[in-house]
Amino acid sequence: RGMRMIKILIADDEGYERELLAEILDKRLGREAEVRMVENGRLAVDAASLWAADVVLMDIEMPGINGIDAARQILAQRPECKLIFITAYSLFTYAHEAVKLGACDYILKPVDPDDVERAVRRAAAQAEAQRQLEAMAAAASGELLESADNYDKAAVLMGKVKKYLQHNYMMYDISLDSVSAILNLNASYFSSLFKRTFQVNFLDYLTELRMDAAKELLRDPLRSTAEVANMVGYESANYFTRAFKKKVGMTPTEYRRGAAQGRGGTA
């Protein structure tokens, strides 16, 4: 059984932009996606909830309710919905606000079809990972606790947890407690199960994922350290810098310099 069709809602007050995005999604995703369009934030809130959208592509600068406020209302009603913001402004004006809300990506106008496809596929994979984890939790939590030595079930469950973390490491509020809550498992039991399965504790594993992503992002000279911190799940740039230095052995700035020289010294 393949992944079910992704429901994608496009919210933009400019007709041309809506049509362009719909065309890109049709070309790139075809039958994998069902697309609907609305022209303002108020309609986006209603449609996302009533139609049960998986992913919302939302312009930030809309008259009436802007994209950030609409997103806040959508997530209040439908927390599992994945949001991708589209903006003509430089990223960082909104980055902090958007990521804090739980946006999984943002795309700059004029939109690049590759960026749109990448962001939507990533958002859909996040939604699917969460769905699988929750389905698994509903089926497994009770009996898993009663039979701690049931390695097969535990291994399958931990495989889903790993996939969930790989797709959601950039969320600020992801933690041992938040994941054990999804699974209806006692946090210390979940912690020992995680360590037994992966030979590393939960926080170290999450930090590793975040630092690998940060190294990739730091290769782009136009992204500030604060922006990179935001994009890998840290609200504080200072805390991110300390964590990066501890893990990688140099500051993000030093790492960026080394990466630039490694590319041939002309950056």
Reported pTM: 0.65
Cβ-proximal residues to 6 (8 Å cutoff; 6+ apart), any chain: 29, 32, 33, 34, 54, 55, 120, 124, 127
**Local confidence band at 139 (pLDDT 50, 70, 90 cut-offs):** low
Q: How far apart are CA 167 and CA 151, in angstroms?
A: 24
Please tell me the least confidently modeled range out of 2-6, 22-26, 169-173, 177-181: 2-6
| Arithmetic mean of pLDDT, 158-180 | 87
Q: How far apart are CA 197 and CA 247, in angstroms?
A: 22
Q: Is the pLDDT at 1 greater than 50, yes or no? A: no
**Local confidence band at 264 (pLDDT 50, 70, 90 cut-offs):** very low
Task: Take residue 151 and report the two structure tokens written for it.
Answer: 């390695």
| pLDDT at residue 265, as a whole number | 38
| pLDDT at residue 147, as a whole number | 52
Rg (C-alpha) for the chain, rounded Å, is: 20
Higher-pLDDT residue of 8, 66: 8
Task: Take residue 173 and report the two structure tokens written for it.
Answer: 């509020």
In order, the DSSP letters of 35-79 are EEEESSHHHHHHHHHHTT-SEEEEES--SSS-HHHHHHHHHHH-T
- Percent of the residues in the chain that have a pLDDT greater than 90, as a whole number: 40
**Local confidence band at 55 (pLDDT 50, 70, 90 cut-offs):** very high
**Local confidence band at 176 (pLDDT 50, 70, 90 cut-offs):** very high
Q: Is the pLDDT at 258 greater than 90, yes or no? A: no
Higher-pLDDT residue of 97, 10: 10
| pLDDT at residue 266, as a whole number | 37
Structural element, H or E, at residue 34:
strand 33-38
Cβ-proximal residues to 52 (8 Å cutoff; 6+ apart), any chain: 7, 78
Higher-pLDDT residue of 19, 236: 19
What is the DSSP-derived secondary structure letter of residue 5?
A: P
| pLDDT at residue 28, as a whole number | 94
